[in-house]
Structure 1
Amino acid sequence: MPISAINRRDFLKGATAALALTALGAHGMSLDPQAKPLRVGLIGAGWYGKSDLFRLMQVAPVEVVALCDVDENMLRGAADIVNQRQKQRKKPRLYSDYRKMLNDNKFDIVLIGTPDHWHALPMIAAVKAGAHVYVQKPISVDVLEGEAMLAAARKYNRVVQVGTQRRSTPHLIEAKKNIVDAGLLGKVAHVEMYCYYHMRSTANPPEQPVPAFLNYDMWTGPAPMRPYDGLPHRRWRNFMQYSNGIVGDMCIHMFDAARWMLGLGWPKSVSSTGGIYVQKEGSANTSDTQTALFEYDGLNCVWQHRTWGTPANPDYPWGLTIYGEKGTLHASPMQYDFIPVGDGEKIHRDAVFEKEKYPEDLAEKDIELHAAPATRLHMKDFLAAIEKGSRPVADIEEGHISTASCILANLSMVLGGRPLVYDPAKREIVGDPEANALLARPYRQPWVHPDVAKV
């Protein structure tokens, strides 16, 4: 007799937990608890910077040597938490300038959790200083920044892991292995990716004085200087000056997951349309409605986001759907569902949580509990790559492809929706001088845009 839907869910829940543990064992470092701790630094001590650091501290013996942030209050708060969590009870050195931090200390690993416009320069500086790097996604705000970051990682032979942790999400690892790789989908010819979160601000706050504890000039760095209208932490995602919008924030995760699951490289062409169609009242300048098309031979990956209205599927407000001739796979950070064509058996899987193993997660402010196991596994994969001298699952090149493709979508939207064909060997958009002029954003002086030939 077939297993009932309820029993199958219980069975698969246990199977996923076992798979997660197996994956952790298979991809983790064989670290000796008595070994000398890895010397770690964090640049960007805000929400996700701290989250990444704490996940690393949970899976490896580390000494957090230094923290860097331009907000003195945030920096001191992060230092207090690190001091409590460090076994040595040693307080890290504090910096407001990443260049001085890298100059004063020798690091094995540097984590970069800054806003997007501050990823490229610190990452390149860190690998030049001899550190392996874990950098958040998207890796860059323009395509040529990403090219320079990739070139630097290869030139200095450093491992660089990108925070696209869907590649290390336990239930998605299972979906790739048991659904996609096992052939249950059959021929795949269409992928839909989407986000319907109401995550875009409609506020329009007035200009105000910059508080003494924030170095706003350094926070802005190479980006254009906006009038200060309140603390920019997490609000920066609403502005294209500092980010790649919702495509760069949310699409990159799902597009990267689709590429990983299906073994896809650079798309043949990228096009996009959209804009601010509904939420016109606020100061945010990211699109509230956008569709992007990433084309491959015999396969299209389509992205859509709306920051208004309702999701197409309430169970999947952010995720991807892979359509095959034999079935359909819905996947998100929270779950997956396989629906076969015909009378076959449906398969459901929920996200893995590790609350019992890591009870400290429950007391951590703003933690994404469902993402913590994925980030821990991502860190273990990063550490294993350092130990073996190999490429991690979210290597900088993979992060660059996913990031640059999303940037190309935004460029296409600005250029009226025309398809853009990027040649990574020549680092140019084929036959489109107007688009090529947008591959590198102008930097605010005195900051200098990284050059592939000079990293």
Structure 2
Amino acid sequence: MDRRTFLHTTPALFALPFTAHLRPRQTARRVALIGCGWYGKNDLLRLVQVAQVEVVGLCDVDRHMLEGAATLLKERQPAASPKLYADYRQMLSETKPEIVLIATPDHWHALQAIAALEAGAHVYLQKPVGVDVRECEAVLDAARRYDRVVQVGLQRRSTPHLVRAKTEIVDAGLLGEIGHVDLCCYYSMRDTAVREVEPVPDFFDYDAWTGPAPLLPYKGLPHRRWRSFWAYGNGIVGDMCVHMLDTTRWMLGLGWPDLVASTGGIRVQTEADATITDTQTVIFSYPELDCVWQHRSYGPAVDEDFPWALMVYGSKGTLRADIFKYDFTPHKGETTRVEAVYEREAFPEDVTEEGIELHAAPATRAHMEDFLRAIDTGSRPVADIEEGYISTASCILGNLALVAGEPLAYDPSTREITPGYETLLAREYRNPYKHP
């Protein structure tokens, strides 16, 4: 019986915690969350739905975010009484969590993940693994050194309809010989505003939020829109391409690309404060195929039905897939569409949760369950840190190739880049922060 059938044919069980039937446990897992914004709360609430947990600590440098997360958790778990922190190091030291969820901006991921691993915790780390290649290497090394499980939030690997596409279409050989993959994002997601400098509010520690990144002039709360600045992340390639490239690698069994090339820039949205590209193409070259990414944060999508998607082209058919559905079109025959799985009946609280992505909630729950299984069995999760490292670093190389103006090759065995752009592999940290 598959998970969807189980959920929809056993309504009597929904009065009890779902994982009580999957993972009996005598004591609740001690869990802490670093980063209480939109996706941090989302990850925590999905974990609470599928496991017996005691949330021992919440941490955020925005007091309003922190208190909001505590209030929301109290609604779901009336007995919950986590301690609230502004400093994640203090929280790790005092609460000694078994599991740490990290959902801070990208420029903080590596330092916080390594600190949590050093504290003995298993880590659920939102993608990407880091903002530079050396950070990614350091997180992988720490996970292996401390023998902890790290599940990266590349939850397309746990998305029910995409799992079905992999098993029933790709693995079944229905595409034939695969010769090319297109990846894309045409969302108008780049911040286009021009803002004035303003005072930092007393509830927000901007210096701590900035951490190792450059301390830019404060122009209002950076929440969500920070992705539009190179100082904190890797733009749309680091945010959106990493999901589709990772999904493709997982579906097709691909590892590191042999070569990464890129073109692009700020071609249209030139008046904005934002510094990331509004137009970019990245080619990830493998021996038998190329994966070609394109984003454009203006104008219509090439295919309005698949604005953020992957398209796999084979000798027998084509697979188009995104977070909502997939279409399989054989060269001889009709297109078959399979929609995303929703679990509204099993988890009715999803329906009224503010900001939830209903189509993604089942994937996140399954990803959490896979993470917990790996902890229990000592195995590697589906989005193990090494897989996250490959997908993250490959996308970073796409941006570095744009900076270098020529294709780049990274050797994971020597951790060297060809040609010699070694200085691009690590960003300069702001004092007093030390690069791992």
The interval holding the TM-score normalised by the smaller chain is over 0.9
The AA in structure 2 aligned to 1:419 is: P
- The corresponding residue for 2:331 is 341
For 1:281 and 1:166, the matched residues in 2 are separated by: 34
Counterpart contact for 1:150–1:396, Cα < 8 Å: yes
Give the TM-score of the pair, scaled to structure 2. Answer: 0.96
Which residue of 428, 438, 442 maps to 2:416?
A: 428
Q: Offset of 1:17 from its aligned partner? A: 3.5
C-alpha contact (below 8 Å) 1:294/1:301 kept by paired residues: yes
1:63-82 superposed matches below 5 A: 63-82=54-73
Distance 1:261 1:106, change over 3 A: same
Q: 1:429 to 1:235 in 2, by over 3 A?
A: same
Q: Is 1:270 the counterpart of 2:260 in the alignment?
A: yes
Q: 1:164 to 1:185 in 2, by over 3 A?
A: same
Q: How does 1:309-388 map to 2 (within 5 A)?
A: 309-342=299-332, 344-388=333-377
Aligned to 1:44: 35
Residue-by-residue CA offset, 1:361-380 (whole Å, 9 max, x unaligned): 11211111100000000000
What CA deviation, in whole Å up to 9, does each residue of 1:124-166 have, x standing for no partner?
A: 0101111000000011000000000000000000000000000
1:35-184, aligned counterparts within 5 Å? 35-86=26-77, 89-184=79-174
Structure 1 CA distance, aligned partners of 2:135 and 2:4? Answer: 39
Deviation at 1:112, TM superposition (A): 0.1
3-state SS, counterpart of residue 425 of structure 2: coil
Structure 2 counterpart of 1:367, which letter? I
Does the C-alpha gap of structure 1 residues 215 and 132 become closer, same or farther in structure 2, counting only changes over 3 Å?
Answer: same
Which residue, out of 231, 244, 250, partners 1:254? 244
**Secondary structure of the structure 2 residue equivalent to 1:145:** helix
Q: CA deviation at 1:83?
A: 1.8
Indicate if the aligned counterparts of 1:40 and 1:64 stay in contact, CA closer than 8 A.
yes
Confirm or deny: 8 A CA contact 2:309 2:321 kept in the other structure: yes
Cα distance in 1, alignment partners of residues 4 and 407 from structure 2:
43
Contact in 1 for aligned 2:38/2:355 (Cα 8 Å) = yes
Aligned-residue offset at 1:201: 1.1
Specify whether residues 19 and 82 from structure 1 end up closer, same or farther in structure 2 by C-alpha distance, changes over 3 A only.
closer
What is residue 24 of structure 2 aligned with on the other side?
A: 32
Task: Indicate which of 443, 451, 455 corresponds to 2:429.
Answer: 443
Q: Structure 2: any 5+ residue segments left out of the alignment?
A: 10-18
Task: Say whether the 8 Å CA contact 1:80–1:91 is kept in structure 2.
Answer: no
Q: How far, CA to CA, are the matches of 1:112 and 1:261 in structure 2?
A: 26
User: Distance in 2 between the 1:30 and 1:332 partners?
Assistant: 29
Secondary structure, counterpart of 2:75 in structure 1: helix
CA distance in 2, matches of 1:19, 1:300: 39
Residue aligned with 1:119, SS:
helix
Q: Secondary structure at the match of 2:424?
A: coil
CA shift at 1:394, angstroms? 0.1
Distance 1:227 1:402, change over 3 A: same
> Quick one: which amino acid aligns to residue 443 of structure 1?
Y
- Distance across 2 between alignment mates of 1:15 and 1:192: 30
Structure 1 residue 28: deviation in Å?
Answer: 10
CA distance in 2, matches of 1:263, 1:371: 23
Report the Cα offset of residue 18 of structure 1: 3.3
Q: Are 1:41 and 1:111, in contact at CA under 8 Å, matched by a contact in 2?
A: yes
Q: Aligned-pair distance for 1:85? A: 1.4
| Superposition deviation, residue 298 in structure 1 | 1.3
Contact 2:20 2:51 in 1 (8 A): no
State how far apart, in whole Å, the 2-side matches of 1:73 and 1:108 are. 26
Alpha-carbon shift at residue 21 of structure 1 (Å): 8.1
1:385-442 deviation per Cα after TM superposition (whole angstroms, max 9, x unaligned): 00000000000000000000000000001112x1101011111102x22x21110000
The answer to whether the Cα contact below 8 Å between 1:16 and 1:174 also exists between their aligned partners in 2 is no
- CA distance in 1 between counterparts of 2:299 and 2:3 reads 34
* Consecutive aligned runs of 4 or more in structure 1 exceeding 3 Å deviation: 14-22, 27-30
Whether 1:396 and 2:385 are equivalent positions in the alignment is: yes
CA distance, structure 2, for counterparts of residue 187 and residue 388 of structure 1: 36
Please state how far the C-alpha of 1:341 moved relative to its aligned partner.
0.7
RMSD between superposed Cα atoms in Å: 1.7
Indicate the SS of the match to 2:299: coil
CA distance in 2, matches of 1:56, 1:16: 17
Identity of aligned residues (%): 61
Whole-Å Cα distance in 2 between the matches of residues 151 and 20 of structure 1?
Answer: 38
* Cα deviation digits, residues 109-130 of structure 1 (max 9, x gap): 0000000001000100101111
Aligned length: 427
In the alignment, is the contact (CA less than 8 A) between 1:195 and 1:250 conserved in 2?
A: yes
Deviation track 1:329-380 (CA, whole Å, cap 9, x = no partner) reads 00000000000012x2421101111111111111211111100000000000
Deviates more, 1:359-368 or 1:387-396: 359-368
Amino acid at match of 1:40: V
Quote the Cα distance in structure 2 between the aligned partners of 1:94 and 1:322.
46
Distance in 1 (alpha carbons) for counterparts of 2:201 and 2:251: 46
Residue 192 of structure 2 corresponds to: 202
**Do 2:7 and 2:343's aligned partners in 1 also have CA atoms closer than 8 Å?**
no
What is the Cα deviation at residue 84 of structure 1? Answer: 2.1
